[in-house]
Structure formats: C-alpha cells, structure tokens
C-alpha cells in the first residue's frame, strides 16, 4: 500500500493513503492496526480525506516500516477491529448537518424570493400535520405550538421567519437524534460481550477454548453465575436464566432441553449444555441497541419532568398570545409571545444533557445503563461496599497453603484450582493463578460441581467428597472436623490472611491462605466521597470479624458488618431505604447480586462475576476505585447543569416575551434569539461536565 507524508515533526507524522476513497470500515481497520503498534502513543484516521495522524516514540525508520506493512486484509488488524466503532454513525449525522446548513445557505443566496416562499409553505405542511395530529389525539403539546407559530407566520406572509423557525427546528432535531444515537451506540458497545474463553463440550470432555474458535453446531457448557456467550438451544440440564439485559424481565426464566437461550443472559441457578446457533458476531450488539432504545431505564426522572413541564407550558404560551392580543389589539405583539416558548429548550436540552453525561461516563470507563441511575448517584447519601475485590484488589494472591493429614501442597492446589476455575471470583482466581504460576496442570477429575452462594463448592473427586469454601460452610453447614492431633496446627493459622478451607470426606485437608491487598486509593476515596455529599460509608463482608475490623479501620468507613450472607446485605439496604436514604451498593461477586438489585444504584466491578455485572445498574473498571469519585462528581455536575438549564430557559424566554409585549422586538426578531438560544443550550448540554485533565491528574 502506498502512502504520502503530508507533514512531519519529531514524534508525529501525518500521512495520506493513496487510494481513491477510504471507506469507514477501512478507516477502522487502519486505526486498529496503528494503535496495535508498540511505538504508537496516539493515532487518528480521517476517512473523508484518507489521512492518518500518528504520534509515536522511538525510531522513525521503524515506524515507517511498520506502516508500510499494513494491508486491509491483515488478519491481526481485522481481529482487533470492533464490528461497531461509531465512526459510521458520526459520518452519517455530520453529512446530515452539513447538508441542512448548505441547503439553507445556498437557497437564501441563489433562489428567488417566490421560490423560497413556496418552499417554506411546502415544508410548513409537515409541521402543520404534526400539530393537527396532536390535537386530534387530544394533546396540546409543543408540536401544536410549533405548528401554530409557523402557520401564523406563513399566513402573515412572513416567509423569512417561518423558514428560520423550521431551519432551527431541523438542526435541533438532527443534533438531538445524533446525540441520542451516539450515546446509545457508545453505551451498547461498552455493554457488549467481552468473553474470551468458553467451555467446549466434546463427548464427556470439557475443554477451555477461545470463543473465536467456536462455530455453529458446537456444544458449550455454561455453569451457574456465568454468562451465556452465544445464542443457542439448550440440549441438557436445567437452569434459571436472567434475561433482564435483553427483555427487561426482572425475574429469571426457566430454561431446559429444547429452550432457546440468548447471548449475554446469565445462568442464575443450575447449568446448561447448549448447541451454538449463532457464532460470535454483531447479534449481541444489535440486541443491546434495541434494548436500550426501548427500555424505560433510559428515561431519567428529570427527563420526564422536563417533558411534562414542556407540555404543561404550551397552554400558557397560547393563552399568553391570546391575552396579549385582547389587551393590546396588536397582532405583532401577540405573535411575539407565540414565537417564544419554554418547551423547545426544555424538551431538547434535558435528554441531551443526560445522554451526554452517560457518554462522558463511558469515556472514564464507567458504563451507566440508564439516566435515572446518574440521578440516584447524585442524590445518594449512603454507600455500601463489599470488601473482597472492591475495597481490596480484584486479584488477591495465595500467600500460604497449610495442609493437614500429610496432604501435599501440589495435590491440594491442583484439586482446588480444578474446582474453583468453574466459578470465577477474586479468591477463586487467586487459587487458579497460583496453580498456573507453579506450572500445575489440573485436568478435569471431578463429577458435577455444585456452587452454594456465599458458602463454597462441593464435588466428588475419585469417589471422595471434596468441599472448599468458607469456615461457616465447611465446619458449620457441612460439620467437617479437624484431623486428630492437629488442633494446635489449626490454631496457629496466620490471622493476617483470609482463609479458604478444603475438606475431603468430612475431614479438613488444607487451609489456603489468601492475601487480599487493600487498594491504595481506598482511604482517599472515602474522604473524597464524604466531601461530595456522602454521609454514611458502610462495609459489609462475609469475612471474619478480625479481618473485617482491620480493613474497616484502615479504610475509614463509618460502619462495618462481618460474616454477613447475601440476604443480609439486601436486607440492610432495604432498611436504609425505608429510613428515607438513597443507597448505592458496590460489589463484584455472585453473592452481591441481591444487594445490587436492592440498591437505588447498584455498581459492579468490571472484572467481577458476570451475574453481578448483569444485575448492576452501573459498571466501573477494576483498575481504580477513584472512578467512584468521578461518577459521583459527574452525577452532581449533571444535576447542577440541569438546574442551570432550567434557570436559563425560563429567564431568557421571559425576557424575550417582555421585550415583545413592550414592542421593542418584532416576532421575527424574537424567533431568532429564541431558537438560537435553544440550539445553544443544547450544544452546551453536549459538552463534557468534568475537566478530563483534572480527573486524570487526581
């Protein structure tokens, strides 16, 4: 492929791809390739001009050589390129916007006045029809107001004013639709599946393979707590499947042999073997887009208030017009009132502000499933934290393995990893990763694996019953015993670690000591959340009193609860809500899902259990807990912007009405600032709420 270097300075190069036209897909592939290069710090590709700008480090010659190697059919670049990037959407709406402005400008410059007048009448019929249709349905809404203003202007032969109103309304519609679709598009892309490996079932054997290797007709095993990776038909097993992300159903649906199951839904109970009907592709993304667009979750309370207020003000605008005419007898003054209404800006700016905030949240690696959850975060005064994987690092490590009855560490670790890898959680991952670090192969050696939420795992290995889990599960629920003569060894277990207990045939075989490092930023996050209006910080964990107390004192929460069950967390949240508090719950595990559902806003850690992410209203990345602070600031700023928008819309339009009634401005003169202000406030609502540099430097 041939390139031309258009401009170059040290560490930055702008080049032109020598081809007649670059498609949107080709631009995406080139961008993915450039960003995959080790030297590249930043890259942008402009499909309209066929140019690419690259910022890089290191050797210029190496950079040039790497660029020369690029081909559109490069397998690595194709694999890295998402099916939906948003570039095509932006291109479509940019084209619409440019066309609208160009047609308006060229028409005013070159078309005769008579043609412009006729064109205004033809365009006005569309708005007139919308107004008549609203009246026929018994609604007196903003479409009636728009239709009245345009119709009266046309009757008065004020074609310039009618044309200006329709032009600005058209621009507003394009911007609103663009912002809405882009926000939905960004949100759907962030919610799309991110499953790398699946359990492929061949006969009686289960093999962990990349999802990209799965083809139609393959059989997959999906266990409790995991996400169904691909569309298919259940062959074996029985399960309760949470389909809320696709259907909005709050209760799980029973699936058994013959049932169709959908990618992205989560197995809450049981397990399924399914035959794949649709391999990896766009189906999940398209379903999520449809779900978001149709879901009432997207509608924030403030959006609903804005729409209701906008429609409620229409009769007052019409009444004010009539009253002005009756009092003054001046048609021009009356029309000035008609040209100015509050509803346009209210209906346009509020949804854009909410959707733009959701888009901005995505820029900070925060996925928000609906505008109302940003409101809930802004109003929240109580935050409940899970401990493991939330206040502590999502990747705890095995510190020690204390064995009993002469078991070998390697044997214990192999069996533990074999069981734990089926139910990914932070502590389970620690066991699996330790086995990998030691180079231990752990082939499937067990029968059916049963997971007991918040307790542990039970199975059968070589005919012996093996359980692994919490102290409560092993010693109280399962009544296991400590081997004779080893009580002293058990009493000497190091207290600074979390303990994972394994028993074989009712007798303790080992205690795996897990080091769960506290997040360095946790204490700072608590202080910052208090500064942003949170009055109660609570930690709830299934860990022992000793471990929970140490973490709570270090982090600085106001209250903590140890050795709690999932239902305890949900019960506490419901009790707080009954007291009139707004509650946020933050967790990452299967056992957190009831509490996440109960909270006003449930926040899941992105690397946590699939069901936690599915149930949660908001997802943050696992890298930095300070994203909670960013989310709270963003939500607070959104509410501040909404209040400012309300004040501006009311004061500015009142001023225009008073100027019109006083005879200082004409109807055409009032229409322009009114519509321009609506456009301006909408554009402002599209801007970022937070200073990105300040957020990055925190």
* pLDDT tens profile 23-45: 988 998 899 889 888 899 999 99
Q: For the residues 568-578, what does the mean pLDDT come to?
A: 92
Give the integer Cα–Cα distance in Å for 69 and 37.
Answer: 11
Question: 301-328 and 343-363 are packed helices; what angle lies between their axes, rounded to 10 degrees?
Answer: 160
Sorted by sequence, the CB contacts under 8 Å of residue 482 that are 6+ apart come out as 404, 490, 507, 508
In terms of DSSP H, where are the helices of 495-618?
A: 522-531, 545-555, 566-578, 593-598, 610-615
Task: Place 54 in a pLDDT band, splitting at 50, 70 and 90.
Answer: very high
pLDDT surpasses 90 at 581 = yes
pLDDT surpasses 50 at 608 = yes
Residue 295 has a pLDDT of: 44
Task: Place 63 in a pLDDT band, splitting at 50, 70 and 90.
Answer: very high
Give the integer Cα–Cα distance in Å for 346 and 312.
Answer: 11
Cα separations in angstroms, 231 against 214, 216, 609: 12, 10, 20
Residues in the chain: 698
Nearest of 581, 584, 582, 579 to residue 597 by alpha carbon: 584
Residue scoring higher pLDDT (641 or 88)? 641
Give the integer Cα–Cα distance in Å for 411 and 434.
Answer: 13
Residue 508 has a pLDDT of: 95
Token pair for 560: 């903590």
Give the integer Cα–Cα distance in Å for 540 and 454.
Answer: 13
pLDDT surpasses 60 at 192 = no
Residue scoring higher pLDDT (89 or 384)? 384
pLDDT surpasses 60 at 558 = yes
Cα separations in angstroms, 360 against 183, 294, 348, 354, 537: 9, 21, 18, 10, 26
pLDDT surpasses 90 at 535 = yes
Token pair for 231: 């569309």
pLDDT surpasses 80 at 19 = yes
Cα separations in angstroms, 326 against 261, 323, 335: 66, 5, 12
Please write the tens of the pLDDT for every residue from 209-245: 877 677 888 899 998 778 888 888 999 888 888 775 5
The torsion angle over the Cα atoms of residues 656, 659, 665 and 666, rounded to 10 degrees, is 70
Q: For the residues 619-626, what does the mean pLDDT come to?
A: 80
Residue 234 has a pLDDT of: 92
Residue scoring higher pLDDT (165 or 536)? 536
pLDDT surpasses 50 at 329 = yes
Residue scoring higher pLDDT (182 or 194)? 182
Give the integer Cα–Cα distance in Å for 241 and 267.
Answer: 5
Residue 583 has a pLDDT of: 95
N-terminal to C-terminal alpha carbon distance within the chain: 43
Residue 280 is classified by DSSP as S
Is residue 330 helix, strand or coil?
coil
Residue 282 has a pLDDT of: 42
Token pair for 72: 């559109």
CB 303 within 8 Å of CB 183: no
CB 374 within 8 Å of CB 357: yes
């Amino acid at each position: 492929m041939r390139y031309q270097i258009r401009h170059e300075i040290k560490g930055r190069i702008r080049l032109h791809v020598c081809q007649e036209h670059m498609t949107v897909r080709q631009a995406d592939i080139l961008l993915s390739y450039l960003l995959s290069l080790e030297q590249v710090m930043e890259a942008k590709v402009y499909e309209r001009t066929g140019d690419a700008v690259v910022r890089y480090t290191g050797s210029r010659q190496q950079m040039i050589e790497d660029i020369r190697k690029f081909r559109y059919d490069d397998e690595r670049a194709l694999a890295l390129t998402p099916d939906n990037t948003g570039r095509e959407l932006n291109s479509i709406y940019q084209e619409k916007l440019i066309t609208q402005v160009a047609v308006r400008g060229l028409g005013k410059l070159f078309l005769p006045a008579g043609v412009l007048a006729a064109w205004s009448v033809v365009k006005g019929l569309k708005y007139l029809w919308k107004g008549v249709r609203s009246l026929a349905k018994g609604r007196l809404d903003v479409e009636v107001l728009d239709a009245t203003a345009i119709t009266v202007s046309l009757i008065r032969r004020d074609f310039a004013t009618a044309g200006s109103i329709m032009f600005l309304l058209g621009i507003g519609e394009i911007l609103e639709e663009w912002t809405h679709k882009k926000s939905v598009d960004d949100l759907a892309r962030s919610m799309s599946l991110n499953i790398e490996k699946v359990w492929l079932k061949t006969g009686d054997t289960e093999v962990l393979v990349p999802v990209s290797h799965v083809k139609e007709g393959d059989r997959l095993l999906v266990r409790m707590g995991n996400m169904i990776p691909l569309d298919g038909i259940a062959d074996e097993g029985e399960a309760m499947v949470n389909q809320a992300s696709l259907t909005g159903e709050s209760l799980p649906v029973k699936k058994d042999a013959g049932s169709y199951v959908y990618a992205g839904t989560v197995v809450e109970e049981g397990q399924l073997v399914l035959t794949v009907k649709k391999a990896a592709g766009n189906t999940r993304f398209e379903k999520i887009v449809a779900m978001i667009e149709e879901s009432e979750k997207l509608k924030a309370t403030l959006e609903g208030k804005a729409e209701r207020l906008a429609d409620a003000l229409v009769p007052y605008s019409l009444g004010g017009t009539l009253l002005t005419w009756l009092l003054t007898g001046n048609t021009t003054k009356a029309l000035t009132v008609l040209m100015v209404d509050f509803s346009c800006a209210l209906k346009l700016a509020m949804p854009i502000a909410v959707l733009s905030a959701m888009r901005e949240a995505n820029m900070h690696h925060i996925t928000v499933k609906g505008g109302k959850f940003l409101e809930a975060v802004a109003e929240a005064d109580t935050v409940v934290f899970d401990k493991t994987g939330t206040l502590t690092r999502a990747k705890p490590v095995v510190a020690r393995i204390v064995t009993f009855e002469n078991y070998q560490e390697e044997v214990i670790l192999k069996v533990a990893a074999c069981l734990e890898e089926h139910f990914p959680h932070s502590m389970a991952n620690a066991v699996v990763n330790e086995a990998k670090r030691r180079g231990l192969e752990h082939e499937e050696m067990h029968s059916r694996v049963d997971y007991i939420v918040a307790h542990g795992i039970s199975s059968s290995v070589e005919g012996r019953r093996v359980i692994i889990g919490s102290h409560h599960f092993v010693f109280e629920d399962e009544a296991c015993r400590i081997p004779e003569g080893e009580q002293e060894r058990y009493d000497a277990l190091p207290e600074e670690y979390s303990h994972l207990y394994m028993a074989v045939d009712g007798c303790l075989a080992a205690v795996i000591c897990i080091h769960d490092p506290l997040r360095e930023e946790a204490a700072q996050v608590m202080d910052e959340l208090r500064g942003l209006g949170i009055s109660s910080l609570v930690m709830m964990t299934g860990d022992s009193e000793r471990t929970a107390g140490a973490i709570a004192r270090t982090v600085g929460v106001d209250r903590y609860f140890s050795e709690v069950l999932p239902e305890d967390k949900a019960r506490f949240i419901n009790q707080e809500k009954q007291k009139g508090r707004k509650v946020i719950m933050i967790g990452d595990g299967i056992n957190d899902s009831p509490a996440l559902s109960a909270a006003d806003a449930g926040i899941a850690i992105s690397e946590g259990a699939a069901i936690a992410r599915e149930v949660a209203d908001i997802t943050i990345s696992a890298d930095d807990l300070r994203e909670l602070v960013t989310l709270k600031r963003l939500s607070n700023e959104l509410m501040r912007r909404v209040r400012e928008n309300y004040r501006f819309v009311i004061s500015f339009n009142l001023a225009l009405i008073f100027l019109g009634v006083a005879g200082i401005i004409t109807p055409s003169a009032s229409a322009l600032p009114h519509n321009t202000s609506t456009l301006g406030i909408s554009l402002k609502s599209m801007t970022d709420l937070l200073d990105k540099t300040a957020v990055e430097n925190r």
